Amino acid sequence: MVLSALGFALMAALVKVAGLRGFPVLQIIAARALVSLGISWWDTHRKRISPFGQHRKLLFARGLIGFLALMCVYSAVIQLPLAEATILQYTHPIFTLLFALVALKEAVNRATLLCIALSILGLVVILQPSTGLQESANLPPYYVFLALLGAAGSGAAYVLVRKLAPLEDSSVIIFYFPLVCLPSALVLGWRDFIMPIGCEWLILLGVGVFTQVGQWGLTKGLALYKAGTVVAFSYVQVPLAAMLGLLFFNESLSVTSILGGSLIILGAWINTKDKT
């Protein structure tokens, strides 16, 4: 799980580097999807199963929602400090719980309510313009909105994955994400694509490679131990993102981001530990 967090943190850092070098978000998504599509197709071929599944409308919906969420998340990562963008992404449990309540009729327990309350409180602390503290986050509202929209999209995608899990092989579900992302990014963004030069090829390739490292670590960790205990280790991505932001982009966490982020992560952690 620590390897997974490091993979996703490095992926986000490379997305930011690519964006600052002028690559459009859709080209970065296309590069990621190309790598993921090849690996995912190989995985279904290894298992000797059809990569296209049986419930194609649901699978396509999962891929499309994931693609739209990824556009928002990558735009926010490029424009916001890495740590703050990562913290805002951790609000996705709120949206997952709300969508699961509506779509899957899942019950709301005390841990769920506490997770939502702490996450909202954390957002208020991060986003309030005047705090009386010496240092506040002062984040651009438009990209904060995109980050939250990306978290909402992630929540909706997770609910679709939960619905598909008993119906389709996990490799098929994973395969549909790049299967939808790659042609969507090419059709919508090819006019703005720019030709990489030198190490820029490695930057774009690295986005896809570190995404797969993150997904592999996450899948392996969940397979080896209890989900609630294992997922708690994924929160190490926030300090890793803060460290990468400081080292490579001269970013530092504000006081309000530290306080608000702690509340958001605490809420998410409580929700993974208490299922009563």
Instruction: Look up the pTM and report it.
Output: 0.86
Average pLDDT over residues 224-250: 76
Dist. CA 276–CA 274, nearest whole Å: 6
Dist. CA 223–CA 29, nearest whole Å: 28
Higher pLDDT, 100 or 198: 198
Domain count, the chain: 1
Query: How many of the other CB atoms lie within 10 Å of CB of 271?
Result: 24
pLDDT in tens, 56-105: 999 999 999 999 999 999 999 999 999 889 888 888 877 877 887 777 77
pLDDT confidence bin for 133, thresholds 50/70/90: very low
pLDDT for res 176: 92
Helix, strand or coil for residue 198?
Answer: coil
Dist. CA 166–CA 57, nearest whole Å: 16
% helix, strand, coil for the chain, step of 5: 80, 0, 20
Dist. CA 206–CA 208, nearest whole Å: 5
Which residue range is the domain that position 160 belongs to? 2-273
CB contact set of 38 (below 8 Å; sequence gap of 6+): none
Buried b (16+ CB within 10 A) or exposed e, 210-222: bbbbbbebbeebe
